[in-house]
Amino acid sequence: MSATKSSNVVWHKPTITRDLRQEQNRHKSTVIWFTGLSGSGKSTLAHALEDRLYHLGTRTFVLDGDNVRHGLCSDLSFSDDDRKENIRRIGELSKLFLESGTVILTAFISPFRTDREIARNVTPHGDFIEIFCDATLDVCESRDVKGLYAKARAGVIPHFTGISSPYEEPISPELSVDTGSKSIEECVDQVLNLLVEREVIQPLTGPAVAA
């Protein structure tokens, strides 16, 4: 895979800017980056949050780890180098969604801090929200309906995060959510409250977002 950038490629400035799209949408765009072990609830939380945001009139899109590996990243394995490239691609894709005025929700294990920082650094300052889905390995294994952890412990699946490959927890995420013990509704409320605090969406009323 070549890392050489062509000198003939020039960034084309759009006529319809991110600011104009945000004004039309009546909300800001941002990147919400869910990270955590397999089974920690990243995808479940991302889709539940998207459902709530959709009904609030927010333009959203979820990038799910498994779905992306069916297409955009189908050529990548789970080696450390390919995991790094996987996250690099998602970071760049998220940046494009950000320019479209969309609230982009990503659900990837993204096990290495340096790779998450790369994704953060390609995103304009303040537009990257890292959310740690905090669930213990025991809890994640108990939720493993696909039997992936069992296969990893048996050596059938190599480079499996939490078993034969490390997971580096965020040191200072924008939000840490206890997905191991809290209900999905409570977790969604936490994220919504953060989005209101950061003025991504308008203030909400009613018990649905009680802290």
Catalytic residues: 110
Helix (H, G, I), strand (E, B) or coil at 171: coil
- The 10 Å Cβ neighbour count of residue 148 is 17
User: Could you say which DSSP state residue 165 is in?
Assistant: B
Q: Which residue, 158, 180, 175, is CA-closest to 211?
A: 175
Q: What is the DSSP secondary-structure string of 25-65?
A: HTS--EEEEEE-STTSSHHHHHHHHHHHHHHTT--EEEEEH
User: Could you say which DSSP state residue 138 is in?
Assistant: H
- Residue 157 token pair: 């699946």
